[in-house]
Amino acid sequence: MVRIGTHSGSFHCDEALGCFILRQTADFKDAEIVRSRDTETLAGLDVVIDVGGVYDPATARYDHHQRDFKEVFGHGFTTKLSSAGLVYKHYGREVVAGVMGLDASHPDVETVYLAVYKKFMEAVDAIDNGINQWDAEGPPKYISRTDLGSRVAGLNPFWNDEDQSAERLMEQFLKAVELTGSEFLDSINYHSKVWLPGRSYVVEALAERKAADPSGRIIVLRHFCPWKEHLYDLEAEQGIEGQILYVLYEDDREKKWRIQAVSQSPGSFESRHALPAAWRGLRDEELSKSSGVPGGVFVHASGFIGGAATEEGVLAMARLALPAQES
């Protein structure tokens, strides 16, 4: 039987998740897990993670505790890898492709593979390596939304539990493998079934922005989705940071159209170019009279969002709201 090795004693999120990922691959599917620090025992195993002092993909050794270890995921990420990150770097595409039911070379697999690292895996690496999420100023170094490491740590036997046996530790470690694995698969499924379709709608809207308005600063979503994160990411990828000022979409519940000013940055309440001050706080006929656009519904007092009865109405509002030299 194929066997995966990792260290004995107290366990952590990274090796639990690394073991789960390996067990989803063709080479190590449902492999037995052996927990040991004995050199001879580890030498006879098919793959070893988080112990042994060796990083060598050719011999399936994935430790990250060496003094000279500096491996990162690549693709612009600079966080030093844990054993989970090492395993994901080498086997993640295969696992993502399997969950998505696509060939590993499919471009959607690569997109989800990178998104899962950014939104899920990188935090595991950073926390295991003791990297603070924040400096005194600036954006976070990585995204951490799960507190998974703390929950895995809580599965270790308490310091004063009478049973500290290897059998008890293995029982709890296997619970950690299942916990981390379940959330890992949830992340793949979310990014492939929810996040990726939304991204595709924003990609489409950006590609057609000059058709919406020659300025290229207005986009129209043909299907509503949570668009903000995708817009910032895609602007950066396409080298057009800060260019989109307004996003138009239909409110699925009210069947009326919205115009939303894009904020300066993720999490910011300041718009790149808010709707005109003269419209703010107005509704219905007052708004239509002030803007000159029939079918006005409202503009928020801060100018970050407004609405009209039709797509033509919000498009007219967006064009009127553009900076004077661009309208």
Which run of H or of E encompasses 179?
helix 166-190
d(CA 193, CA 286): 42
CA gyration radius, the chain: 25
Rounded to 5°, the CA angle 241-242-244 comes to 110
For residue 143, what pLDDT is reported? 84
Q: What is the mean pLDDT of residues 288-312?
A: 97
pLDDT at position 324 is 75
Would the CA dihedral through 230, 235, 241, 242 be positive or negative? negative
Find the range with the poorest average confidence among 18-32, 50-64, 122-136, 137-151: 137-151
Residue 146 pLDDT level (bands cut at 50, 70, 90): confident
Mean pLDDT for 259-280 is 94
What tokens does 290 get? 């002030």
The residue-averaged pLDDT of 215-230 equals: 96
Q: What is the pLDDT of residue 142?
A: 84
The sheet carrying 61-62 orders its strands as 32-35, 3-6, 47-49, 61-62, 55-56
Kindly list the domain boundaries of the chain, sorted by start residue: 3-193, 213-321
Among 303, 272, 273, smallest CA distance to 287 is for 303
Q: CB-based contacts of 131: which residues, under 8 Å, 6+ apart?
A: 79, 80, 141, 142
pLDDT digits (tens, 9 = 90+) for 161-219: 899 999 999 999 999 999 999 999 999 999 999 999 999 999 999 999 999 999 999 99
How far apart CA 275 and CA 272 sit, in angstroms, is: 10
Task: Read off the pLDDT band of 326 (50, 70, 90).
Answer: low
Helix (H, G, I), strand (E, B) or coil at 306: strand
Would the pLDDT of 14 be above 80?
A: yes
What pTM value is reported for the model?
0.87
Please check whether residue 9 is in contact with residue 170, taking contact to mean a CB–CB distance below 8 angstroms. no
- Express each pLDDT in 245-257 by its tens digit: 999 999 988 889 9
One-character DSSP codes across 36-96: ---HHHHHTSSEEES-SS-EEGGGTEE---STT---EEETTEEEEP-HHHHHHHHHHHHHH
Give the per-residue pLDDT at 268: 87
- Residue 139: is its pLDDT beyond 90? no
Higher pLDDT, 141 or 250: 250
> For a pLDDT cut of 90, what percent of the chain falls above it?
89
